[in-house]
Amino acid sequence: MSKGGFDLGGLFRQAQQLQEKLATVQQEIGARTVEASAGGGMVTAIVNGKLELVQIRIEPSLLESPDVEMLQDLIVAAVNEAVRAAQKLMADEMGKVAGGLGLGIKLPGMP
């Protein structure tokens, strides 16, 4: 402990513990998936916690439609919504770890 009761070593230990917790949570989030649908469930996108698109499900009846542009729009909408859901999951989970510290930490990749 240094003058004035400020423990720099303790602060560094806390920062290291926080970094380890954040890394663990980030790894756990990466293994999770979220899904979102568009067109009343006609197109579903599944994204993992690393914000990678892992699956697209398309209702077979959509493939029979000559309206390719509509299908493209539904895919884009489902993927974008799934990415937003994954970002929210990440922000919520990381916030639980970093929350309450009052450090004003801005985590990379967080909205």
In a domain, 5, yes or no: no
Q: How many domains does the chain have?
A: 1
Segment 27-44, tens digit of pLDDT: 888 889 999 999 999 999
Task: Kindly state whether residue 60 falls inside one of the protein's structural domains.
Answer: yes
The predicted structure's pLDDT at residue 48: 94
For the chain, the average pLDDT equals 84
Count of helix runs (H) and strand runs (E) in the chain: 3, 3
pLDDT digits (tens, 9 = 90+) for 2-36: 555 677 887 888 788 878 888 888 888 888 999 99
Q: Is the pLDDT of residue 54 over 70?
A: yes
Residue 1 has pLDDT above 70, yes or no: no
Q: Does residue 12 belong to any structural domain of this protein?
A: no
CA 11 to CA 53: how far, in whole Å?
38
* Residue range of the domain that includes 58: 33-99
Total-model pTM: 0.72
Residue at 41 is within a domain: yes
For position 94, which CATH number holds?
Answer: 3.30.1310.10
Q: Is residue 67 part of a domain?
A: yes
Q: Is 10 helix (H, G, I), strand (E, B) or coil?
A: helix
49 part of a folded domain = yes
Q: Given a cut of 80, is residue 45 above it in pLDDT?
A: yes
In a domain, 45, yes or no: yes
User: Does 68 fall in a domain?
Assistant: yes
